[in-house]
Amino acid sequence: MNDMAHLDSLTSGDLHEEPIFLVRGPTAIPKSPEIVRQQQFRNLMRAAAPSVMVFANANAGKRNPLLARKEGIRGGVFDMTVAWSERCIAFVEMKGFDKRGHAGELQQNQIDWGNSMHRLGFPVACFFDPVEAIDWLREVGCPIRNMR
């Protein structure tokens, strides 16, 4: 396979590809919305890992599609980037529940993006529980104090 064909295979996922990265389903924690879980994750990280950079990513999810395209914003990008030390970056997608109590699901563009980043060697994962996300980050080498 030549370099361009290899690059294409990394960035263009099969339309029905399943996640090849870690995906944790809903847990027994309260059925809070995704935004609340993202805030909990950032707050826990700020307390347990103050030297780690954690920030939300702009994605095309709830934006005007034309404006998002002009800005170079890409659909499917995970919610959070977590960076520590040189070249240590992980991507976390948080899911929650809607007003009817239905669990959020990964969209195909999120699966494609996550699979592409996984194939490029980045740690990527999807969680409902912010504490599970932090435990996983610790497993992949992120310097996080144990808060339990």
Quick: pLDDT tens for 65-110: 777 777 777 889 999 999 999 889 999 999 999 999 899 999 999 9
Indicate whether 13 belongs to any domain.
Answer: no
d(CA 95, CA 110) in angstroms, rounded, equals 12
Q: What is the pLDDT at residue 7?
A: 44
Q: Is the pLDDT at 48 greater than 90, yes or no?
A: yes
Which tokens is 145 given?
Answer: 């104090």
Indicate whether 119 belongs to any domain.
Answer: yes
Q: Is the pLDDT at 113 greater than 80, yes or no?
A: yes
Q: What is the pLDDT at residue 127?
A: 97
Q: How many domains does the chain have?
A: 1
CATH code: domain of residue 97 = 3.40.1350.10
Q: What is the pLDDT at residue 138?
A: 97
Q: Which of 8-17, 22-31, 62-71, 96-105 has the lowest mean pLDDT?
A: 8-17
Burial code (b: 16+ CB inside 10 Å, e: under 16) for 126-147 equals: bbbbbebbbebbeeeebebeee
Indicate whether 14 belongs to any domain.
Answer: no
Can you give the pTM of this predicted structure?
Answer: 0.82
Q: What is the pLDDT at residue 6?
A: 45
Indicate whether 7 belongs to any domain.
Answer: no
Indicate whether 8 belongs to any domain.
Answer: no
Structural domain containing residue 126: 31-139
